[in-house]
Copies of this chain bind each other. A is one copy, B any other.
Amino acid sequence: MVRKRPYVCGIDAALDVVGGKWKVLILWALSTGTKRFGEVKRELPGVSVKVLTEQLRELEADEIVTRHEYDETVPRVEYSLTEFGRSLNEALGPLGAWGARHRARIESLRANA
């Protein structure tokens, strides 16, 4: 997700932040509130620990999520959206609505291919 060329337009820049395979889903999972690592993982069927960790760290570097590590005997890490992350999530709203509305159509196109 490191861009070598200058951004052509705003969407270009936005997708550089949210372009990872699981990032929008992480955003989506965290939109309902703070969650522990394991909780996030459970909401993303199929993601590996390594990749989830990587993408969370990248989102953290982009100031989209914050990471809170609790120093207890039982390891516990919580993630939540920043204000910046919430604004990104709102900007994704219409796209999500579009996808939800046309989901069946997309799936049927995929099926015929």
Contacts and interface: CB of A to CB of B under 8 A. Distances in A.
This chain: copies in complex: 2
Contact of A99 (B9, B24, B93, B96): B9
A37 interface: no
A91 interface: yes
A110 interface: yes
Contact of A10 (B46, B62, B99): B99
B13 A28 contact: no
Given A11-B24, A45-B8, A91 B100 contact: no
A87 interface: yes
A10 B10 CA distance: 21
Contact of A9 (B46, B84, B96, B101): B96
A87 B102 CA distance: 10
B28 A103 contact: no
20 contacts: A2-B113, A7-B99, A8-B25, A8-B44, A9-B100, A11-B25, A11-B28, A11-B95, A11-B96, A12-B24, A13-B99, A14-B99, A16-B106, A17-B106, A90-B94, A91-B97, A91-B98, A92-B94, A94-B94, A94-B95
